[in-house]
Amino acid sequence: MPLLDLLWLTLAAVAAGLVNALAGGGTLITFPVLTAVGVPSVAASITNTVALCPGYFGATLAQRADLKGQEKRLRWLVPASIVGGVLGGVLLLNTGEKLFKALVPFLILLASGLMAVQDPLRAWLLRRAKERGATHLPESGAALPVALAAVYGGYFGAGLSVIVLATLGLILDDNLTRLNALKQAISLSVNVAAAIFFLFTGQVVWIAAAVMAVGALVGGALGGKLAGRIKPQTLRLVVIAIGVVVAVIYLVRG
C-alpha cells in the first residue's frame, strides 16, 4: 500500500478515535477512507472492525468501575454478544462484494440516523431512570435483543452503541452511567468476537489495520484531553453530515 494512502488512513483513524471518544460514529470516517484508497468494501469493513478493537478496549477499561455489581448481567450479555458478533461476521462474508457494496450507502444512512437519535435517546433514558421500575421484564430478557444487535455489529458496526444502549434502556432498570458502561463492554465483546473470526478469513489488510489502530489510540487520547472543550452535540452533527454526504456519493457512483 502506498505511503500516502497509509498517511490518509492514519489521519482518518486519529479523527475517528477523537470522534469516538467525544460523540461516537468514527466508522463513518474510517470506512469511506478505506474504500477510497482502494480496499474492497467487504475487506474494508473487516479491516475496520479489527483496527477499532483497541479503542473499544480502552473505552471499556476507562469505565470498568461502573461495571462493578453488573457481573450477573455480563454472564448473560457477553456470550450473547459474542454469538451475535460471529454470526454478523459470517453474514458479511456470505453477502458477496457486489451486494455489500450496494448496501453500503443504506448502512451508512442507517448509522447516521442512529447518531441523530442518540441525544433524544439519552434524554429519554435519564427521564426513565427517575421513574424506576418501569419494566417487569427479567434482565435475562436482554440477551436476545442484544444478540440481534450484535449481528448488526459484526456485519457493519457503525451506530452499534446506540442500538445497544436503547435495548438496555428498554429492559434494564438502571442509571445512564451504568448502562453506558455495560454498553461499552457489550460493544467490545461484539467487536473482538467478529475480529477474531475475521483473522482467519484472509481479508484483513494488516498494514492498514496496524496504522489505523495506532491512529485511533492517539485520537482517543486527544479526545480525552479535549473533553469539555468541544460540544459532543456539535461534533455529532458534523459526523452525521459527513455520513449523509458519503452515502449520497456512494449512491451516485453506484
Q: pLDDT tens across 107-125, in order?
A: 989 888 887 887 787 787 7
Q: Can you give the length of the chain in residues?
A: 254
Helix (H, G, I), strand (E, B) or coil at 182: helix
**Total number of domains in the chain:** 1
Supply the mean pLDDT for the chain.
86
- For residue 79, the enclosing domain spans 3-253
pLDDT tens digit sequence for 76-98: 999 999 999 999 999 999 998 99
- Residues 215/12, Cβ–Cβ less than 8 Å: yes
Q: Is residue 121 exposed (0-12), middle (13-18) or buried (19+ Cβ within 10 Å)?
A: middle
Q: Please, where are the H alpha helices in the chain?
A: 3-22, 27-36, 41-62, 71-93, 97-116, 118-131, 143-155, 160-171, 176-198, 206-226, 232-253
pTM (2 d.p.): 0.82
For 61, the grid coordinates are 477499561
Beta bridge partners of 227: 230
